[in-house]
Amino acid sequence: MNFVKDFEAKLESITKDIYTKTPRAKIQPKTIAKKLLHEMENNLSTTLSHTFAPNNYFIHLNRLDIDSIGPLTHFFTNELEFFLKEESKEKGLILVGSPEINFIPDSDIEPGHMEVKSSLSIKEDMLYRKGINEETRIISEEEALLLGLISSSPALMLKTETKHYVFPLLKEKTSIGRLRDNDIVLNSPEVSRRHAEINRKKGDFFIKDLNSTNGIVLNNKEIKKEKRLVNGDILILGTAELEFKNPQAEK
């Protein structure tokens, strides 16, 4: 916890001048850090022998608050990502790749308030960097496979022309859509902002359309109602094709 206090003191020292000159700024750096830590601790993913921290964080702020910290957004992002790495290390958590932080303007958030959301995703290009993994517990997709995060957990797999993504389904509800605060983000204009949701019920997984514009195609058939997924199912949302993998269940 000493690291948290030292981190807060560092942020306050560096940002003191800009916040003095910007009286409308109501969001303090240490408040953001505490919210991120709370979000990380409350959204851990576990396998039989390991605990993983989220690696994507979305900080929703009113536009006034984002404008007030504008000159320091890049600095905040770097420092907060370092903060999450150190906290993960101290708590014995595993990070799949470096944490990524995004500041998102949100008109539904009142000035001086914020909402923080997180998700866990794995990309094929999350490679080792010698001397870093052992210290921060940042791992590659290959190591995640060895640890059992992918091979033993139900997941959605998305292949693009340049990358291969694996999204472990470790929550009771997993949201899919174009907005960046979804658990699985599909950056395509053919995908609705809140396109679909996968629900886990007694070990089974069900896909449900959230009144999306282009709907969901499951194994070449458009679905209107919630459907149970089985290993090997192919889902099409807009132009994105995903495969459902569940090694724990028979097809």
Task: List beta partners, residue 184.
Answer: 176
Contact 25, 66 (CB under 8 A): no
Residues 4-52: pLDDT tens digits? 556 555 555 545 554 544 444 567 778 889 999 999 998 887 765 678 8
State whether residue 89 is helix, strand or coil.
Answer: helix
- E strand segments, the chain: 45-46, 51-52, 56-61, 95-96, 100-105, 114-119, 122-123, 138-139, 155-159, 164-168, 173-177, 184-185, 196-201, 204-209, 216-218, 221-223, 227-229, 234-237, 240-245
* Amino acid 237: pLDDT: 95
pLDDT digits (tens, 9 = 90+) for 199-220: 999 889 999 999 999 999 999 9
Contacts of residue 105, defined as CB under 8 A and 6 or more positions apart, other chains included, come to: 60, 61, 62, 63, 66
Contact (Cβ atoms closer than 8 angstroms) between residue 80 and residue 36: yes
β-pair partners for 158:
165, 242
Sign for the CA dihedral angle at 103, 166, 93, 194 comes to positive
Burial bucket for residue 28 (CB in 10 Å: 0-12, 13-18, 19+): middle
Share of the chain above pLDDT 90, in %: 30
- Confidence band (pLDDT; 50, 70, 90) for 187? confident
Residues whose CB falls within 8 Å of the CB of residue 2, separated by 6 or more in sequence, listed in order: none
d(CA 37, CA 41): 6
CA dist 113 and 32 (Å) reads 10
State pLDDT tens for residues 81-126. Answer: 999 999 998 888 888 778 889 888 888 899 889 999 888 776 544 3
CA triple 161-167-169, angle to 5 deg: 155
